[in-house]
Amino acid sequence: MAKRFSIIVIPEGGSKVSSFHLRSGFVKFAICCSLVVVGLSAFFAYKYFNFKIDYAELQRLRVSTIEQHQTLLSLTADLKEVHQQMDDLAESEARVRQLADLESLPEDVPVAIGGIQELEVNDDVDEIQRQINKLQVAIELRRQSQEGVRNLLNDQVSLSRATPKGWPTKGWLTSYFGMRKSPFTGRRVMHEGLDIAANTGTPVTATADGIVSRVKYSPDYGKMVIIDHGYGYRTIFAHNSKVLVKAGQRIKRGDVISQVGNTGRSTGSHLHYELRLNGVPIDPRKTL
């Protein structure tokens, strides 16, 4: 490489030509400086644009974080609301059990959802998830408990409908349940039902839901109807003039089953009404 460089400046119009002489070391130094300046400029430009992109991303993330926070707050409020509703449900179920006179709750079914703390705004998603899981368990327990209540109530309703109650016909009592002197033999015998005097043809009604188990004629009881009510209850209607039901027929309390009469061993038109519990005659007067 040459040791010196010359730069000659030739102006137009014949003015004097000037020339500059540069040492080769200086030229090399100038070239290096230029390269460094260009490199640094490119580097900072690159950094600047990257920063612009990151900043936009940061702004977007900030907005998203605020939105997520709002969502968490809203979820927290919803969970509190669900807690309250579960507590209300538990309270109302306790009242139903009290009204229905059912046994108290099984021990594994909490009356209220214990063990769930109040949620704080800063609780994280994991904590909310845990609370939701607890609620799911509590809801399942509550559902099972309420199903139990429903079954128990259904049983009670069935038992109530199957328990004989009220008068089987319109009339007046002429003979009570218990030992009495037989109008036929004069000896003291057990009278296993009530005698209700009424005109022949007066309707006789079932005193509870059940199934007609027998319709037959007996020399003593005349035209008789026996109804099975389940739960050990049976009712017997004797001395009818007419029977209006058939064996196997399902009937409801209040259904007309026969008409009062004087058939069998009877001294006048009346209904002989018997109530048996597990085969043993009991006094129907308490049920009228």
Sites of contact with Zn ion (CB under 5 A): 195, 272
List, in sequence order, every residue forming a beta bridge with 150; answer none if it has no partner. none
CB of residue 285 vs Zn ion: minimum separation in angstroms?
Answer: 13
Pick 67 or 220: Cβ nearer Zn ion: 220
Q: How far is CA 158 from CA 59, 84, 115, 208, 248, in A?
A: 68, 34, 39, 10, 19
Pick 195 or 209: Cβ nearer Zn ion: 195
Pick 143 or 216: Cβ nearer Zn ion: 216
Closest CA to 268 of 167, 200, 188: 200
CB of residue 105 vs Zn ion: minimum separation in angstroms?
Answer: 48
| Dist. CA 275–CA 164, nearest whole Å | 8
Pick 176 or 231: Cβ nearer Zn ion: 176
Query: What burial letters (b/e) apply to 157-168, b meaning 16+ CB within 10 Å?
Result: eeeebbbbeebb
Q: How far is CA 246 from CA 83, 172, 214, in A?
A: 56, 27, 8
Which residue's CB atom is positioned nearest to Zn ion?
272
CB of residue 172 vs Zn ion: minimum separation in angstroms?
Answer: 14
CB of residue 231 vs Zn ion: minimum separation in angstroms?
Answer: 24
Token readout for 136 is 């799911």
Pick 233 or 273: Cβ nearer Zn ion: 273
Token readout for 88 is 């209300």
| Dist. CA 28–CA 235, nearest whole Å | 128
Pick 93 or 195: Cβ nearer Zn ion: 195
CB of residue 154 vs Zn ion: minimum separation in angstroms?
Answer: 36
CB of residue 186 vs Zn ion: minimum separation in angstroms?
Answer: 16
